[in-house]
Amino acid sequence: MTYIRYGLAVILCGLGLWITICNWIIFWVCYIRKSRHSSWGPLLGGLFLCIGFLMIPNNPYHHLWWIAFFIDWGCIPGIAYTIIVHIIRIRKKSGK
């Protein structure tokens, strides 16, 4: 049973890490280099990282599961950025 949990944890963390890296590449291309690129996948990378991290047997750091949502651009950083940009656009349109 432990080997299955390790296997699933590695698969989920690997998938989450891959999505997280893709999201950060999209951030870099779109917002730093200012060129066109596809959109980022919200919540997927952080969710897979979180579940994979929690599935590791005997993990003394399981209480740090929430960090995955701050590492992935598609989670807290990207959603916060999107909300801030929309608030700024609304204020510019209304003239405030």
Share of the chain above pLDDT 90, in %: 72
Predicted local distance difference test score (pLDDT) of residue 1 = 83
- Per-residue pLDDT tens for 24-68? 998 898 888 888 777 778 899 999 999 999 999 999 999 999 999
Predicted local distance difference test score (pLDDT) of residue 32 = 87
How many other C-beta atoms are found inside a 10 Å radius of the C-beta of residue 85? 10
Q: Is the pLDDT of residue 15 over 70?
A: yes
Q: What is the DSSP letter of 64?
A: G
pTM: 0.85
- The Cα–Cα gap between 32 and 1 comes to 45
Mean pLDDT value across the chain: 91
